[in-house]
Structure formats: C-alpha cells, structure tokens
C-alpha cells in the first residue's frame, strides 16, 4: 500500500499544535464564524418550536394576531439563518483558502531548497501530491471540519434540549432509537471510508498505467504492446469498477436505512404521543414539533461522522506535509560564506571520495586541477562518474571525503548562491520550461535584454532555427519543448549558458545521434562556449576532446589518466583503447 493511503489516528495533539500555528494568522475568521455558526444553528432549529407555539396557543384559540406574530418570527428566523449561514460558509472557506495559500507557498519554498538527494528518493508524483492533494485535505479540515464541528454539536444540543424541554417522557422514548442511528451512521462511514480508499488506490494504479502508456506510446506501438496493455488496462478497470460498486452498495443501503430508523422513531412518537394527546397530557403542537425535530436531528449526526473522516484524512496529510517541512536541506550554506569579488574559475578536486548511498563509492580518491580559463574534458565509460563530478562541482551533493576548491576556497565555505551564479550548466538531458524561447534562454532574468538574447543565440548557432519558428523568439514551447529536435534543444541550452556569461562552464554533452548539419552547428557552438572561461566538459565528440587543454580519463570512479590528446595517445593506455574503439581504429 502506498504511504498516501495509510490512514492513521484521527487526532494527534502534536500535529494539531503545528496546524494551529497555521491558523493563528487567520484566527479572526474563526471569531467571525463561530457566533454566526451558533446563530445558524438556532435559526435552523427554532422552526418546530414556533410551529408548536402557533398550533397550541394561537390556532387552538383562534388568535389571528398572535398567529401573524409567529409567522413573522418564522420569517425573521429564516432570514437570519440565510445571512448567518452565508457569512459562516464564506468566512470559514476563506480561512481555509488562505491557510492553503500559506501552506503551498511555504512548502514550495522549502521543497525548492531541498537537496537533490531528496528528489532522487522521492518520485515527482509524490512530491506533487504533497503540494496538491495533501494541502487540499487540510483545506477540508479548516473550511468544513474544525469550525463547523461546533455547529453540529450545538445543533444536536439545541434539539436534544428542546425535546426534553417540551416533554421529557416522550424525549426518552424518542432517544431509544438514537444509539442505533449513531451506530449505523458510524458503521456506514467506516465502510465507505474503506471502499473509498480502495477506489482511490485503484484510480492511482489506472492513472499511472495510463500515464506510462500515453507518454511511452511510441514504444508501445513499436513493440506491438497494444493488445497486452489493453488486457492489463481492462483488468485494472474491472477492479476499479468493483470497488466503485462497493461504495454504491453502501450508499444505496444507508440512506433508506436511516429513513427507516427515523421512521421507527416517528411511529413511536405518533403512537405514544397520540395516546397522550387523547389523554390530554400532551398538546397537539408538541406532537408536531417532536416529529419535526426527529426528522432533522439525523443531519448533524451524519455531518459529525463525516467530520471524523475529514479529521483522520487531514491528520494523515498533515503528517506527510510536516515530514517534508522537517526534511532539512542537506546542502547547508556556510554560516559565514565567502563571497568572492573577482571570480576567476580555478577548480581543484583533492582526494575526493563520494557515494550517493552509504559506502557505495562512485568517486574514489579523485584529484585534478583546472587553471582559470582552461578546459578539461572528462572521458570514460558510461557509469564511470562523469556526471557525478559535475554535480559535485555545482554542490548538488556534498562529498564525504577530500576537498573541492574553487579559486582556492573550499566549496563548503563558498556562498552556494554565488557559486552557482558563476557556473553555467548544460546537461545531457536538456530541460526546457513550457514558456517562450526567450524566457527559456533568460530564465526569468530580466536583466538580460532581448538584444543580448539574440546575440547569444547567434553565437550558439540557435538564431537561425529560432527565427524560423512560428513566433520566433516568442514561440511558446510546450511540454518540455516537444516541438524541437534534440539538437535544437541543445542549441537553446547553449544560448542559455552563454546568456549568463559564467566564469565556469559545465557541459554534459549529449550522446544522442544528431544529424551532421546540426552536429557541426553544435561543435561550433561548443567551441564558442569554451572561449574565455574555465570549462569542464563531459565529452563524447572527438572535436571537443581534442580541443580541450586537458583530458581526464575516468574508470570506475578513479582517475586513470590525465593529459592532452597527444600525450594520452602516446601512453597507449585506456584513452588510446577508448579512442580506437570509439573512432573505429582511426589511429594506429
């Protein structure tokens, strides 16, 4: 079972305390809503009593004036209820929305600062759920749970009080069915909760299946998986149907059941009350009021049991939300960060050991130095740790042993923001936002003018194809740039890197095959990118490798060779072999 689905306690005082912290800034709404709520309860439940008064005191005596008076009172009560219920609904929901707003903002800010390790461990879907449905569950608590509970309790108290006030003997008789009513309601709620949970689970399964199928449609069609996937889908769909049917059954039986129990109470009132009316120990008006009250008391009872579910759901959600809040950002900026005035871009790795998990060393005792303005090409088999070196330089992860220096300052002492400001990173897998090309290059930095963007796009060889897009630089990219080719996306990311004119350029070259024309554009652009700055490039292209001042050969997380192209070829070692393998024995 996914952790989303585990239902915990309905009340946890520690969680509640933390939740109340979020209510505090908006507590004025509670002060407004509570009196309105009481007013609503009174207004809604005064009707039967007025009816009784009308029947016993005025209709019976033919007192028209009094009757008009009661009718007027009734109207006033209805109007007051109208206004107070409106106000109460409005303000409690407003409070709920404002708390949600705060929560989302805080959560988003927190999530943004979490280290990449967190995102390695938590799939996108889960993090999204925290920010959306979990927050939504809390909204239910604040807008229809916490405050309105008072209203329900108050209504039950008013009705009970009224019944006993009118006639305590008949009240006792009426109350004999209430335990059954309570029991049936809570039983129903419990069963529905389980059924709903199953529905939710099944829906989640179907959703993820659909998502995979749709986004991987090309693979599905290419491998003729349609039939198999269809069968899988039908199977899951059947299970979803079954779980829905379970909830239908519960609902179909519950409401008639409650009617039935209520009717038993009413038939008892008619019998016992009727007999007493004939004996003249109970007025006719009281009898009518009793019947009316019994018909409405079920409502707050049902609502109360609903609140129990809301509370339980909200507790589970808030626990998950607070777990996110309690996750410390692993990359902690030094308390007295060094902010370099003139960033040069000299990089040194000194005996660096790093593991993503435990002692599973991905980098072992890695040392190298790149002077400011120099370029270093990282070469090695897949999984040898090239991308990892890049992540470490950007301080996406902290190393376990050794030291990384930038301009002679340990990475841990440098201001993280400052460090990243001076690094431009072009990744293997280019990420584009669903925004205009322009904004994808400047990434929201309005200091970069449009003219500058065109200039860097030209340098990155991206200008030509961008100009040909339907809207030029204003073209909106949808779904991570699905209308662009891989090579074009790469060129845009180069333009992005150039726009920020960093001291250090980090480039993880894409391995994907690109048509020869784009290939030469890219080669050209990489050359442009490497000018006047330190660059570390995970290189697959021979041209890039040859152009680099230094080449570092990485093998299973260890530095095996370091030197320039000619030197390494002369060594006749790993680089030599790699080179021969990759470039089809061009050397001998």
- Residue 356 binds to ligand ATP (criterion: CB under 6 A): yes
> CB under 6 A: which stretch of 73-81, 199-207, 356-364, 499-507 binds ligand ATP?
356-364
Q: Shortest distance, CB of residue 399 to Mg ion, whole angstroms?
A: 18
Q: Shortest distance, CB of residue 490 to ligand ATP, whole angstroms?
A: 15
> CB under 6 A: which stretch of 13-21, 179-187, 381-389, 398-406 binds ligand ATP?
381-389
- Residue 384 binds to ligand ATP (criterion: CB under 6 A): yes
Nearer to Mg ion, 387 or 488 (CB): 387
Q: Among residues 43, 285, 300, 385, which is the contact residue for ligand ATP, using CB under 6 A?
A: 385
Q: Shortest distance, CB of residue 356 to ligand ATP, whole angstroms?
A: 3
End-to-end CA distance of the chain: 59
**C-alpha span between 338 and 349 (Å, rounded):** 19
Q: Shortest distance, CB of residue 487 to ligand ATP, whole angstroms?
A: 18
**Rounded (5°) CA angle 402-328-331:** 30
Give the bridge partners for 553, in sequence order: 379, 561
Q: Shortest distance, CB of residue 428 to Mg ion, whole angstroms?
A: 5
Q: Are 19 and 318 in contact (CB under 8 A)?
A: yes
Nearer to ligand ATP, 315 or 538 (CB): 538
Q: What is the DSSP secondary structure assignment for residue 414, as one 8-state letter?
A: B
Nearer to Mg ion, 289 or 497 (CB): 497
- Residue 490 binds to ligand ATP (criterion: CB under 6 A): no
Nearer to ligand ATP, 113 or 263 (CB): 113
Nearer to ligand ATP, 117 or 190 (CB): 117
Collapsing DSSP states into helix, strand and coil, what is residue 460? coil
**C-alpha span between 5 and 197 (Å, rounded):** 7
- Residue 380 binds to ligand ATP (criterion: CB under 6 A): yes
Interface contacts to Mg ion, rule CB under 5 A: 387
DSSP 263-300: HHHHHHIIIIIHHHHHTTSS-HHHHHHHHHHHHHTHHH
**Rounded (5°) CA angle 333-339-342:** 145
The entry of ligand ATP, Mg ion, none near residue 382 (CB within 5 to 8 angstroms by kind) is: ligand ATP
219: Cα separation from own chain's centroid: 28
- Residue 386 binds to ligand ATP (criterion: CB under 6 A): yes
**C-alpha span between 64 and 68 (Å, rounded):** 6
Q: What is the DSSP secondary structure assignment for residue 338, as one 8-state letter?
A: B
What is the footprint of ligand ATP within residues 414-453 (CB under 6 A)? Answer: 428
CB atoms within 10 A of CB 243: 19
Q: Shortest distance, CB of residue 120 to ligand ATP, whole angstroms?
A: 4
Nearer to Mg ion, 261 or 378 (CB): 378
Q: Shortest distance, CB of residue 549 to Mg ion, whole angstroms?
A: 21
CA atoms within 13 A on the CB side of 2: 17
**C-alpha span between 385 and 368 (Å, rounded):** 14
What is the footprint of ligand ATP within residues 104-123 (CB under 6 A)? Answer: 120
Q: Shortest distance, CB of residue 460 to ligand ATP, whole angstroms?
A: 22
DSSP strand pairing (504-508 vs 423-426): parallel
- Say how many residues make up the chain: 588
Residues in contact with ligand ATP by CB under 6 A are 120, 356-357, 362, 380, 382-388, 428
């Amino acid at each position: 079972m996914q952790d989303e689905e585990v239902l915990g306690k309905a009340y946890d005082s520690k969680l509640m305390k933390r939740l109340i912290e979020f209510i505090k800034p908006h507590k004025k709404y509670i002060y407004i809503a509570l009196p309105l709520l009481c007013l609503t309860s009174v207004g809604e439940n005064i009707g039967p009593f007025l009816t009784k008064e009308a029947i016993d005191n005025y209709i019976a005596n033919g007192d028209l004036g009094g009757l008009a008076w009661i009718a007027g009172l009734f109207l006033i009560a209805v109007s007051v209820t109208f206004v107070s219920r409106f106000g109460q609904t409005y303000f409690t929901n407003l409070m709920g929305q404002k708390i949600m707003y705060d929560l989302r903002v805080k959560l988003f800010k927190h999530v943004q600062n979490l280290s990449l390790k967190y995102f390695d461990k938590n799939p996108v879907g889960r993090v999204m759920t925290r920010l959306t449905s979990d927050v939504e569950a809390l909204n239910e608590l604040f807008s229809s749970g916490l405050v309105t509970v008072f209203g329900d309790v108050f209504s039950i108290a008013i009705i009970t009080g009224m019944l006993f006030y009118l006639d305590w003997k008949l009240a006792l008789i009426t109350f004999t069915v209430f335990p059954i009513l309570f029991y049936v309601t809570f039983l129903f709620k419990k069963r529905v909760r389980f059924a709903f949970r199953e529905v939710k689970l099944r829906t989640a399964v179907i959703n993820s299946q659909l998502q995979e199928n749709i986004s991987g449609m090309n693979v599905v069609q290419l491998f003729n998986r349609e039939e198999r996937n269809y069968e899988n889908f039908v199977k899951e769909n059947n299970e979803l149907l079954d779980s829905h049917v379970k909830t239908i059954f519960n609902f179909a039986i519950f409401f008639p059941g409650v009617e039935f129990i209520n009717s038993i109470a009413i038939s008892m009132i008619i019998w016992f009350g009727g007999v007493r009316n004939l004996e003249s120990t109970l007025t006719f008006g009281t009898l009518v009021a009793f019947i009316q009250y019994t018909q409405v008391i079920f409502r707050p009872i049902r609502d109360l049991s609903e609140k129990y579910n809301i509370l339980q759901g909200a507790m589970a959600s808030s626990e998950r939300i607070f777990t996110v809040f309690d996750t410390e950002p692993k990359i902690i900026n030094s308390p007295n960060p060094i902010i370099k005035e003139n960033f040069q871009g000299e990089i040194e790795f000194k005996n660096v050991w790093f593991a993503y998990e435990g002692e599973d060393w991905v980098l072992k005792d890695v040392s190298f130095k790149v002077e400011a303005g120099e370029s270093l090409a990282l070469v090695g088999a897949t999984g040898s740790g090239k991308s990892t070196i890049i992540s470490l330089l950007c301080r996406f992860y902290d190393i376990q042993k050794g030291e990384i220096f930038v301009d002679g300052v340990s990475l841990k002492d440098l201001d993280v923001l400052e460090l990243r400001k001076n690094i431009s990173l072009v990744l293997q897998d280019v990420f584009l936002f669903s925004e205009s090309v322009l904004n994808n290059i400047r990434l929201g930095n309005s200091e970069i003018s449009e003219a500058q963007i065109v200039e860097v796009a030209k340098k990155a060889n991206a200008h030509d194809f961008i100009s040909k897009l339907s809207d030029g630089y204003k073209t909106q990219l949808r779904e991570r740039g699905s209308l662009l080719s891989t090579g074009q996306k790469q060129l845009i990311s180069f333009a992005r890197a150039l726009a920020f004119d960093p001291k250090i350029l980090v480039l993880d070259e894409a391995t994907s095959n690109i048509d020869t024309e784009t290939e030469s554009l890219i080669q050209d652009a990489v050359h442009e990118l490497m000018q006047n700055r330190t660059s570390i490039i995970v290189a697959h292209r021979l041209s890039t490798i040859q152009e680099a001042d230094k080449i570092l050969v990485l093998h299973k997380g260890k530095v095996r060779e370091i030197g320039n192209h000619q030197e390494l070829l002369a060594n006749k070692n790993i680089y030599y072999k790699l080179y021969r393998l990759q470039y089809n024995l061009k050397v001998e």
